[in-house]
Structure 1
Amino acid sequence: MTEVIAYRLDQLIAGDAVNVRPQDEEVSELVASIRAHGLLQPLVGRLRGDKVEIVDGNRRLKALQLIDSDDDAADITTIDKVHVVLRLGEDEVDAFEVSLAANVLRKPLHPVREFEAFADLIEKGKPKEEIAAHFGIPLRAVEQRLALGRLHEDVRAAWLEGRITGEAARAFTLVPAEQQAAYLRKAIETDEGWRLRADTVRRSFTAETVEADTPKVRFVGIEAYRAAGGGFVADLFANEPDLTDSALLERLANEKLAAEAARLKQDEGWGEVLFGNEARTYEWNRITKPALPDSEKPARAIEIEARLLAIAEHRDKLDEALLEIEDEDRLDEIERDRDVLLDEEDRLDLELEALIEAQTWLRLTEAQRSKAITTVGYNRDGKLTIARGYTRSKPKAEPKPTAMAAPAPKPSAGGEEAPEPARLSAALVDDLALTATRAAAHVLAGEPRIALAAFVATAVTWGTPLRFDNKGRQQGPSLPWPGRSHQTEERFGKVFRDVLGWDMDALQKGAAKVIAGTLDFTSAALAYHSYDSLKADAVTDLRASLPKEMHRAALVQAFDPADYFSKAPKQESIIAIAECGDDPGKYAKLKKADLGATAARLANARAWLPATLRGEVFDAVLPAEPEAEDQDEQAGEHEASAELETAESAAEAAQRIWQDQERKRLEELKTPDVRAEFAARGIKAPFGKSKNQMIEMLLAQPAETEEAA
């Protein structure tokens, strides 16, 4: 049974328990609409004591309350009473069902119909500004709706039928209606559905324009382009509309570069300062850059260095504070301060680099600079770039080097000096080198011992004839020589001869170490060319082939639970606790850090591995050790062993009790005090570890010390 009754606003309360919508929804547009049009639909409620609880219409109630609050502040009254459809004798379940039905059965207006209605309002004389005020939306939003409402009827029909998306419809607004229809018709007639994708539509209509987010536009600047009379694409849906005059943009960029070139030529005395196609630095030589003594650093550079040092110290303090503070508001404040420092640091780094670069090249004499070339340009961020110290002269062309060295001429039998060999062309020498490569490759393929020796030697030297490139992570045991780097001085021939002396067993083990160093299961291996991108099934096949027990033990050894849970979501700690056989509900009230510490303790005890590490090869944890009583039942004759097992379990229990007490004590300390615990125990404090990681290391230390003793 229902009836419509008018109530004062203070008699109405929100139906939180029976309302399916969240109570914190934004209602500013609804406020504007009610002010302009009044309450178009009555609320629905039920009696709750001396109040009326709203079942349907809580957003409208919130908007009415905001209007009434504003009216009280302005000492005016615009809301007298509110009409409510009162549902009598309705329990909470029925009330919730009514709220659900009111929201589920309300069919939303298709965007096309909404935008057509906005266009009709304009045609009937409503100003855009008034529509924006009445609906509580920005004027730009009204203009966007009008543009979509004026789409060609065929485009609107395609949107209604689902053949194009709303994003594609917005792209169609870039051109007149006739052009919209022609494009749509061609795409449909040729059955080329890809032409109706939003990005394709936009590119088709903006082929002659310049995107605002390009290096050249950033270099010139939008305001400079606008001031020069540059036009823009009338795109109501872009934060930065495309530029229409590419020729003007090019001229403005060249003028800005020319001005900078003139300044450098005047101030620094370079013979030429070039840009654009004339800046062919790839054809020139570059003068050796002089050194800049500290005594000649500009005063501003010294000032910047001091400020950068202060910023680094301040940032370190903020980083320490982030590890200790738990108050969310304070953490947000520290993060903001840190971001400000990082921005200042980046800006000062760029300024310092430019100052030092300019001052360094000014150490050349005026005569040297007057014969040299500098170039100017801009980078991807639209920032000015300057490259100083080039010369046009090129060294005399030399024959291309080759790895095939010709033997020295031998003297004749009569002691006469052998004639100088003919000078072959570089191309011919390279042909010979390819022939030698082909022959050696065929022979080497049948000599596994020599091939393995060359393979191992190549892993630790440069310039070898085996041209493989190891992009692996360089993990696992190492060879007797350090891995090759810029400091490598080992010669291939010497290492090769040493390895040839190994027996086959040592040779195979050495090759295995090299191959192990090439492994990489990380995302870096996905960045290679598509044909060589890392495949998940290949990783699984390889991991599954390794000795299972040894492989799992190595994973447990390499895995750091404390570090993992400090970075993983809270849910991962809950999953780990459950997989370790404990009840996560016991720890429900713990904060993320404490829950992670608990999970880390259990993971260490049960040799737990996360799903990503165990893959399809391993279980989450090692099987639990059998209880002492079970062992007695299975093997009663080994009572002594059972007693020993019981004693060991008691010791482990005592260890766990100590660890729990010690953990609680350490967690109450601040990070610097936890670090000081290492010094108190005569251990070097670890660098770069979090508080939780250091606690886990301290808890593990007594056990490790006992074992060592």
Structure 2
Amino acid sequence: MAPKAKPITAETNEAEIQFIPREKLVHSPYNVRQKQRTPDQVAALAALIKGRNGIIQNLIVHPITKKNRPTGEFGVCAGEGRRLALNWLAERGELVDYLPPCKVVSEDEAIAMSIAENSGRIPMHAADQFEAFQRLVVEQGKPVEDVAAQFGVAPIVVRQRLKLAELAPDFIEMFRNDKINLDALMALTLIEGHEQQRTLWNSLPEYQRHAGNIRRMATPGELAASHFLARFVGEDAYRAAGGPLRVDLFGGENDKLYGDRALLETLALKKLQIEADLIENEPGVAWVEVHTEIGHEDLNRYGHTPNVDREPTDAEAAEIAQLQAAIEKIEEIDADDIDDDAERERLETEYQTLDNKLSALMETLSMPDPAALPYSGAIVTINHKGDLLIHRGRIRPDDVKLLKKQSSTTSTTSAGGEGSAAPAVTHSERLVRMLTAERTAAIRASVAARPDVALVMLATRLAERIFGRTYFSDYCLKISAEHDDLTGHAPNVAESRAGKELAALSEQWGAAYKAAHEAGMSTFGWLLAEPAETVNSLLAFCIASSIDTVQMRDDSKVNGLADLTAALDFDMADWWTATADAYFSHVPKPRIVSVMAANGAEVAPLAAMKKGDLATAAETHFAERRWLPELLQAA
């Protein structure tokens, strides 16, 4: 039976401090703090205790009794976290013999003392910690590493706090009074000088005083380490060329800022030119252009080298006729008339072999148009991840028009280019829906990460509805916030990278929405109280969820898609890989052989493969090539 709580008296407060062995201290049932400490919390507290060689504040304990007799153990009714941290240290050979100071009270007083210790505490404000670290390091001259060890944090945390403490005092005081958030404060550290900090802050209207905008204005002309130019050139080459770098302590992986974009451009062009010189010597390459950056809209102005069907040689024609006759002979056999399973399997295998040979032979009859080869070249550039990207078999825009005038055959098939004919239907309706549903998921995830692009989409949609065309229903953003479940088109989309990212965002925002309503807030009230960054991020997710680029045919178009993918620097190869299940099992064998041959595979071995083996071989062949079917290449 629990004892009756006894009020705290003068005698309780004057109880003597005793030093009790750690192993005799146990958890008390009268400790009012019932929430379990996490391992990280215990480890952090242990680091603080180790840094001070013991606890600063004594524990409050009471004797543990069994059948009204003391057991020699003491329950910790105030200071359980410190007890766990001391045990954590002892298990690792630290402070093993340390005797923690304890104030011993009776069981009757235990609950009251636990309530007293855990009530009325005001946690230290972060601004106080900034200034405290500054006094230790700057005024007392303690090394950053020593301060970090003393308080159980990484040295980078101490450096970050010191950087914040160097801000103009006005901002520290505003932070104390909740008039500026920590993200904005961190962004202001990129500006050297208190007056410059104040000038920038005062120049911004209140709704623009958020971290992203401050960071952008504080770093004009500078590029983060994540920028594609910085990644492509590399820090070592940039430093060797004398490029200026500075560190953003709060930038995470983008902690370094490159101060000379022009130098990065020059170094990138030199590196690209080395690759261009090698490609220029390849057969069938009439020209090579080098671009540090080329957007989808500009790239789409270049055509692809067209193919033409050549006439078979006499030997090829004879072989084609022979194969066709053999296939027809097998097709005339009624499978129901064959009782022998082995014979049926032999015929199926023979049919598959003949069909493979015929498909491979027919593919060889398609070749690059000789008339176009003098105009066929390559574009050497950089993708958004900072990797080398080569677009081969391209026709310059002016030459695309010239070739169209010169062309006198209807068998020429162009894969792209300004004014080119609509592509032939390559995929079934089911596959088109599946591929474009995967594309929709990837674009949704990309837009959710780009509130700036999402806002432009919203403004575009509204402006068109109010000022522009009355018929705009095929635009890729549905303003009514219709959320199409893409699994109806692509059953495996939920398991894709884009599907998982979207599911995580949906869960995050759904939880926030639920929490706000459970707290009695309306949606409007909740969002009105949130910073602009939060509202913009939610808006981006909602807009992204309404994007629909699903098509029914290869040759159908989605209004606004080209502009959107260009703005996002979107590359479907970042989100989708051609596998047997995702693509090759859904297209005919000649299509598989054709795309493999066009991408460096030998045709002869492919001809003998069964469809399933060929699809698997294609998956392996394209695993690292970032190949996309035309449907996913075009915007």
> Which TM-score band (shorter chain)?
0.3 to 0.5
Asked which structure has the greater RCO (Cα within 8 Å, sep 6+), the reply is 2
* Structure possessing the higher radius of gyration over alpha carbons: 1
Looking at secondary structure, tell me which structure has more helix per residue.
1
What TM-score, normalized by structure 2, do the two folds share?
A: 0.47
